[in-house]
Amino acid sequence: MSFLHLAIFLPFLMAMLIPIFYRWTNQLHTGWIVLPIPVILFIYFLTFIPQTMQGVVTETMPWIPSLGINFTVVVDGLSLLFALLITGIGSLVTFYSIFYLGKKKERLNNFYAFLFIFMTAMLGVVLSDNLVVLYLFWEMTSISSFLLIGYWYHRERSRYGARKSLLITVFGGLMLLGGILLLHVITGSFSLREIIGEASVVQASSLFIPAMILILLGAFTKSAQVPFHVWLPDAMEAPTPVSAYLHSATMVKAGLYLVARFTPLFAVSGVWFWTISLVGIVTLFWGSITATKKQDLKAILAYSTISQLGMIMTLLGVGAAALHYDSWSDDIYIGALVAAVFHLFNHATFKGSLFMMVGIVDHETGTRDIKRLGGLMRIMPITATIAFIGTFAMAGLPPFNGFLSKEMFFQSMVDVTTLNLFNADTWGILLPVIAWVGSIFTFVYSMIIFFKTFGGKLKPHLLPKKPHEAPLGLLLPPLILSALVVITGLFPNLIAKPLLEPAVKSIMPSLYGTDYHVHISFWHGFTMALLMTFGVIILGILLYKTANWWRPFIKEKVPRFFQWGKAYDNSMYYMEQGSYRFTLWIMTGWLRTYLNYMLMAFIILMLGTIFATDALNFDISTISRVTMMDYVLALVIVVTLVGVVFSKSRITSIILLGAMGYTISIFFIVARAPDLALTQLVIETISVVLYLLVFYHLPQFSNIEEKPKWLSVKTLISFGVGLVVFLISLSAYDTTFYDSISQYYIDNTYTKAAGKNIVNVILVDFRGFDTLFETVVLAVASIGIFGMVKLRLARREKNENK
Amino acid sequence: MELLMSILIGLMFMAATYLILSKSLLRIILGTAILSHGVNLLILTMGGLKKGKAPLLDTPGLPAYNDPLPQALILTAIVISFGVTAFFLVLAYRAYQELDSESVSKTRGHESDDE
């Protein structure tokens, strides 16, 4: 247990203490008490920067060593970048939420407990080396996210959104677990670094593709890639600090983290390259188009998050090509990975600030609907500045950091067309074209966010509240993020060397030790990418100006073809309906139906086994001789059987049943079993008396019975059962493998047990326990009968009611 | 002999199954009674129907004894099935008293209980 382990669990420990603090401190907002934790962690993780520039830091704590599950924490460039984002934005969000959530009306203890459990889970995901531990934290993020989305649980939409996100992300989580187990089957290890060390073994395995697809399903569901993106817009029912933290900066990037982590293992495959690139580019395209048609600011931001995540995913896919080049010095595909990591950082900064900005607008005006907003620039100048920086960075305009990463994105997309791997030279042209169109729509929705909210005329009559500038506490966190956007935009190399370069080296571990250096130049000459950016700006402005003309078209026509959300709702509905109907259909409530099921299963299983194992080997030579007497007895039994089955009178049935019992006792005499014959006679007599006694109180049964039909399920099943028993009896009879153990009884009945009736000695001496409990059965039956006859609770009530 | 017994046992099982699948409670009980007869005969047949002596030590005559173990098992089975049959009978009697019907259709739960 090192301080690194403690650092991961520090927010969790705090979450356990929050209820105590919440009760003790009535005056102070709970947020102030918990705020130091993420700040301390942020500073602590900053101290790792010099170390990760050199190599990795590893700490191990045994958890279940016998299963190879140890809590190993590894800090490398990628983990550190994520850990800094989690703790840094975590601090800002905690600070923001102090001013956002009212002290009186909100359940702050719940909020901060959920938030800090999430923080621990997220730190665990990015710092764990052991895949089982990673999975554990992965599910912990799903659960804490579920709790946070459903924070206002009295709202129906919150509960719906929380359930939807839980179902989808837990589905992905389970797929991820499957992938982890497959990797364990291949390599025998749960350690990510050991598995990557054995990459050649994994790549040669036949389980390579299944493991890859399962892990990708986990990543795609978490990172809201098409078609699993449907949960993210509904997760916007969460409080805005949660949206800013989980659903833009951290949790949705867990999938990207996973893809980046597994790149050294899977990137040799063309399936990996194409799946990630195509899913990412489709997500980018679809997210940006859909964002333009939304009215709610948070919905626009949700779809823009989906779109930007798709962009990073595409970059990771293209970056996978870098593994196929030997010399790193002139490799252009490393550039894609740099762009991915850089944009990951940039997106966390500007999207966090944008969500906080929307929270401020919501807080100060009472609405997030862009139809009712407008002209807030004069009233809320600082918020407008934040929004300006955020949206222009998102649109990819200079001098903000989004411009740089978008340029690198275009450059990578253009470079794909020159790639001569995985058929990229023929189909690769798709990527830059779709990316470019998607980017135009990104520009458009960014402009919609800014100008519809802050530009135009103020509509005071539409706003629930009288708008005014927000307090400094709400403005400070987004201002810090905006400052980061500008600083990294102007001086990208400030973070390039300490943060981005180690992160890229962790995605491509073979880069360690080479002289590869990340350098981001602000001005890189007139390239194709710059021309594409000009095109985006020109077409984007045109589209924004004509938005009133084409937005209705997208709003009304497109949804008819693509309604992912509806597909989810319908599948849930049909699954519930289907299982309900199936249960109603199969569980009829009639005992006869269930008997049919059981007997049919018996017939099918038995017949199948008999024929599959060729069990019918009846040997006629061991058969014993049949006498005339046997034929007569058998005939009598058959006659009584027919009589009982077809009789319409109960008295006939009873008498025939008695006749059958007596015939069987004669059978016992013939088979030299005197005790059996005696017992059978007595029992049959008592039974017949009992039948007569009870039947006296019962009606004739023929009136409810349908006429016997020769071809009915009932007939077929009873024929089948008879046949199966006949076949079993035939094939089981001839078991001459071993002699009977009865010789022991015959030899020792007199000498050891002092009796001459062997059956009786077996019953009371050799196997006396059987007899003891048989007696108990009789006692229980008689007590039960006594109880049934005497105990009349329901009848008494009925009489009282009368 | 075993072939004959196997056919007989098969027929008994067939009749018993047919009766158990009826609507009337009493026919079902008759079916279980026939079923237990069939099972007893099956145990006896599987133990071997060689015509030896009855398993009493001082019986003179034939050289070998019949297998005593299946007989002991059947004796136990007869008593247990008698206990269960008696219980079933009284149960059917009580069910008829409470429900005024001997049809198993009446023993189905209410439609509203399913939902």
User: What is d(CA A26, CA A33) in angstroms, rounded to the nearest whole number?
Assistant: 12
Taking the CA atoms of A720, A725, A726 and A728 in sequence, report the sign of the dihedral they define.
positive
CB B13 within 8 A of CB B35: yes
User: Residues A149-187: pLDDT tens digits?
Assistant: 999 999 999 999 999 999 999 999 999 999 999 999 999
A777·B90 Cβ contact <8 A: no
Q: What is the DSSP string of A400-420?
A: SHHHHHHHHHHHHHHHHTT--
pLDDT at A377: 85
> How many Cα neighbours within 13 Å face the side chain of A670?
22
User: What is d(CA A221, CA A312) in angstroms, rounded to the nearest whole number?
Assistant: 15
In chain B, the residue whose alpha carbon lies closest to the alpha carbon of A692 is B89
B104·A590 Cβ contact <8 A: yes
| Mean pLDDT across chain A | 87
B107·A591 Cβ contact <8 A: yes
- Per DSSP, A461 falls in state G
Residue A128: which of A137, A141, A119 has the closest Cα? A137
Is ipTM over 0.85? Answer: yes
Nearest to B3 among A623, A644, A771 (CB): A623
Tell me the helices (H) and strands (E) count for chain B, helix number first: 3, 0
- Would you place residue A492 in the very low, low, confident or very high pLDDT band (cuts 50, 70, 90)? confident
Nearest to B2 among A584, A623, A672 (CB): A623
- pLDDT at residue A512 greater than cutoff 80: no
- pLDDT at residue A561 greater than cutoff 80: no
Range scoring the smallest mean pLDDT among A336-340, A395-399, A542-546, B94-98: B94-98
User: What is d(CA A444, CA B98) in angstroms, rounded to the nearest whole number?
Assistant: 76
Burial classification of residue A597, based on how many CB atoms lie within 10 Å of its CB (0-12 exposed, 13-18 middle, 19 or more buried): exposed
Closest approach of A157 to chain B, Cα-based (Å): 26
User: Residues A674-720: pLDDT tens digits?
Assistant: 999 999 999 999 999 988 887 777 766 545 555 556 668 888 999 99
CB A71 within 8 A of CB A127: no
Nearest to A789 among B45, B78, B90 (CB): B90
pLDDT at B114: 40
- Would you place residue B101 in the very low, low, confident or very high pLDDT band (cuts 50, 70, 90)? low
pLDDT at A68: 86
- Would you place residue A598 in the very low, low, confident or very high pLDDT band (cuts 50, 70, 90)? very high
Chain B, 32-91: which have a CB under 8 Å from a chain A CB? 33-34, 37-38, 40-42, 44-58, 65-69, 71-72, 74-76, 78-80, 82-87, 89-91
pLDDT at A545: 86
Taking the CA atoms of A764, A769, A772 and A773 in sequence, report the sign of the dihedral they define.
negative
Averaged pLDDT, A641-670: 90
Report pTM. Answer: 0.84
Averaged pLDDT, A487-495: 86
User: What is d(CA A192, CA A131) in angstroms, rounded to the nearest whole number?
Assistant: 6
B17·A721 Cβ contact <8 A: yes
Range scoring the smallest mean pLDDT among A314-328, A467-481, A771-785: A314-328
User: Residues A736-792: pLDDT tens digits?
Assistant: 667 778 888 888 888 888 888 899 999 999 999 999 999 999 999 999 999 988 887
User: What is d(CA A235, CA A150) in angstroms, rounded to the nearest whole number?
Assistant: 9
- pLDDT at residue B112 greater than cutoff 50: no
B contacts of A695 (beta carbons < 8 Å): 26
Nearest to A626 among B4, B20, B38 (CB): B4
B contacts of A730 (beta carbons < 8 Å): 2-3, 6
> How many Cα neighbours within 13 Å face the side chain of A492?
25
CA–centroid distance for A173 within its chain: 5
- Per DSSP, B99 falls in state H
pLDDT at A256: 94
Counted across chains A and B, CB pairs separated by less than 8 A come out at 258
Residue A297: which of A84, A450, A432, A524 has the closest Cα? A450
CB neighbour list of residue A628: distance below 8 Å, 6 or more residues apart: none
User: What is d(CA A741, CA A728) in angstroms, rounded to the nearest whole number?
Assistant: 22
Residue to substitute from A726, A736, A751, A764, interface B, most B β-carbons within 10 A: A726
Nearest to B37 among A623, A660, A699 (CB): A660
User: What is d(CA A348, CA A562) in angstroms, rounded to the nearest whole number?
Assistant: 29
Residue A646: which of A719, A702, A591 has the closest Cα? A702
CB neighbour list of residue A498: distance below 8 Å, 6 or more residues apart: A49, A53
Whether cis (ω within 30° of 0) applies to the bond prior to A460 is: no
User: Residues A197-220: pLDDT tens digits?
Assistant: 888 888 888 999 999 999 999 999
| % residues pLDDT > 90 (chain A) | 50
B86·A690 Cβ contact <8 A: yes
Averaged pLDDT, A50-69: 88
pLDDT at A480: 94
Residue to substitute from B7, B13, B42, B43, interface A, most A β-carbons within 10 A: B13
- Looking at domain B1-50+67-103, its CATH architecture is Orthogonal Bundle (1.10)
Residue to substitute from B29, B50, B53, B57, interface A, most A β-carbons within 10 A: B57
- pLDDT at residue A657 greater than cutoff 80: yes
User: Residues A110-131: pLDDT tens digits?
Assistant: 999 999 999 999 999 999 999 9
pLDDT at B113: 42
In chain A, the residue whose alpha carbon lies closest to the alpha carbon of B52 is A672
Give the highest mean pLDDT range of A407-416, A718-727, A747-756. A718-727
A788·B94 Cβ contact <8 A: yes
- pLDDT at residue B3 greater than cutoff 80: yes
Structure tokens at A607: 């017949």
Residue to substitute from B45, B46, B76, interface A, most A β-carbons within 10 A: B76
